[in-house]
Amino acid sequence: MGKYVIRRILLGLIVLLGVVTITFIIARMIPSDPAAKWVGPRATPSQIEQAKIELGLNDPIPVQFINYVTDLTQGDLGRSLRTRQPVVDDLKAYIPPTLELVVLAFLIAIIIGIPLGIYSAKMKDRLLDHVSRLFSIGAVSLPTFWVALFFQLIFYKLLGLFPLGGRISTETTILYDIPRITGMLIFDSFVTGNWVIFKDALWHIILPCVTIALYPIGLVARMTRSALLEILNEDYITAARSYGLKESLVLWRYALKNTLGSTAIVLTLSLGYTLVNTFLVETIFSWPGLGNYVATSVVTLDYPSIMGVTIFSATTYILLNLIADIIIAMDPRIRL
């Protein structure tokens, strides 16, 4: 067991190194002159030369690469060409809002998706099954940016129920001291008991959150349904039934427990796609998160930022996969 974990960690590190290498190569291939960008539009050639030396751009590529990797191991992701701040600081500012969105969206997905999947499985091939199957596949087929626009149209313009965008309203920002513990407003204000900010933040997060949650809801519902169906056909369930156990007991205690593992894993794997959706939704709701940060970095060809974000997300992904793999290893009953 321990051997397996160590092996997986080593492999994870190799993959990470591969990601770093490829990101490095791509960043170097993007046509732009980082030294000129650092100095500014009216740079003189001598200033650019100076900047090149400072930024280490005159060193041979392998040396640059080694420097970059060494910096990485110390947690230094370089300095953004645009904000002039260390990328790590930028990430610290922009990750919490995105994390807030994604975590809440996943929570909603689980709360709504699992019961939906259970109903589908119970009523297999009846009308409800077809309808909910249509719904969950539909949820997965919707273009997120389209849905976002729609929600804005209906809930902001027509009904005036929710705010248009942003995380909190203008007045709250100026009039109140915002608590900063994790940077996630809902959590922070809840924990410090600041109810005005809590309500304000909650109202602002609902629309973008629900928009992002649609895809995972569909995914979770389908996964739960198919996993449950498979399990319900297993022998030990038939055995339990033949012993006269109540159907609901069978369903909840035996069957359901075993679907949760696959659901968690499928959610993890959908993280990539969900992040992409979050990115688009952040643009439409003016949400100051990682998506917006990446958008601006791409637009300004700020390669340290782009690399920083890529490496961060790749690391997270590899980490989560590692955790998922270890869970599978620990409990052989989980099969995808």
Q: Which of residues 82-121 bind other proteins (CB under 8 A)?
A: 82-85, 90-93, 95-96, 99, 103
The one among 1, 2, 3, 42 contacting other proteins by CB under 8 A: 42
Listed in sequence order, the DSSP H helices in 233-302 are: 235-242, 247-249, 257-269, 271-284, 290-299
- Strand intervals (E) in 79-163: none
Binding mask of the shown chain, residues 264 to 293, with x at each position contacting other proteins by CB under 8 A = x-------xx-xx--xx--xx-x-x----x
**Using rule CB under 8 A, residue 31 touches other proteins:** yes
Q: Which of residues 134-163 bind other proteins (CB under 8 A)?
A: 134, 137-138, 140-143, 145-146, 149, 152-153, 156-157
The one among 2, 45, 193, 244 contacting other proteins by CB under 8 A: 45
C-alpha–C-alpha distance, residues 297 and 181, integer Å: 26
Q: How many residues line the site for other proteins (CB under 8 A)?
A: 104
Question: By C-beta, is 3 or 42 nearer to other proteins?
Answer: 42
Three-class SS of residue 238?
A: helix
CB of 212 to other proteins, least distance (A): 14
CB contact at 8 A, 291 and 98: yes
**Using rule CB under 8 A, residue 50 touches other proteins:** no
C-alpha–C-alpha distance, residues 219 and 223, integer Å: 6
Which of the stretches 1-9, 63-71, 242-250, 259-267 binds other proteins when contact is defined by CB under 8 A? 259-267
Cβ-Cβ contacts under 8 Å for 82 (sequence gap 6 or more): 37, 296, 297, 300, 302, 305
CB of 248 to other proteins, least distance (A): 17
Q: Which helix (H) or strand (E) holds 311?
A: helix 303-330
Tell me 32's DSSP state.
Answer: -
CB of 55 to other proteins, least distance (A): 15
Q: Which of residues 192-251 bind other proteins (CB under 8 A)?
A: none
- Please choose, from the candidates 61, 86, 82, 83, the residue with its C-alpha nearest in 3D space to the C-alpha of residue 72: 86
